[in-house]
Amino acid sequence: MAAARLVLLGFALLGVDGASGAGPPRVKAVKSSEHINEGETAVLVCESKSAPPVTDWVWYRITDAGDQVIMNGSQSRFFVNSSQGRSELHIKNLDMEADPGKYACNGTSSEGTDQAVITLRVRSHLAALWPFLGIVAEVLVLVTVIFIYEKRRKPDDVLDDDDAGSAPLKGSGKPLNDKGKNIRQRNNS
Ligand X SMILES: *[C@@H]1O[C@H](CO)[C@@H](O)[C@H](O)[C@H]1NC(C)=O
Per-residue CA distances from 32 to 8, 41, 47, 105 (Å): 40, 17, 12, 11
Burial class (CB in 10 A: 0-12, 13-18, 19+), 110: exposed
Q: Residue 47 forms beta bridges with which residues?
A: 28, 86
CB of 34 to ligand X, least distance (A): 16
CB of 59 to ligand X, least distance (A): 10
Smaller CB separation from ligand X, 25 or 100: 25
Smaller CB separation from ligand X, 61 or 86: 86
Smaller CB separation from ligand X, 72 or 172: 72
CB of 96 to ligand X, least distance (A): 24
Angle 38-44-47 from CA coordinates, rounded to 5°? 170
Give the residues lining the site for ligand X (CB under 6 A): 56, 58, 72-73, 79-83, 86, 106, 108, 113, 115
CB of 27 to ligand X, least distance (A): 10
Nearest to 94 by CA among 127, 59, 130, 120: 120
Rg of the chain (C-alpha set): 39
Per-residue CA distances from 69 to 103, 149, 183 (Å): 10, 64, 97
For residues 18 and 20, give the distance between their C-alpha atoms in angstroms, rounded to a whole number.
Answer: 6
Count other Cβ atoms within 10 Å, centred on residue 164: 11
- Got the DSSP string for 88-102? EEEE-S--TTTS-EE
Smaller CB separation from ligand X, 115 or 119: 115
Smaller CB separation from ligand X, 56 or 162: 56
CB of 56 to ligand X, least distance (A): 6
Smaller CB separation from ligand X, 51 or 117: 117
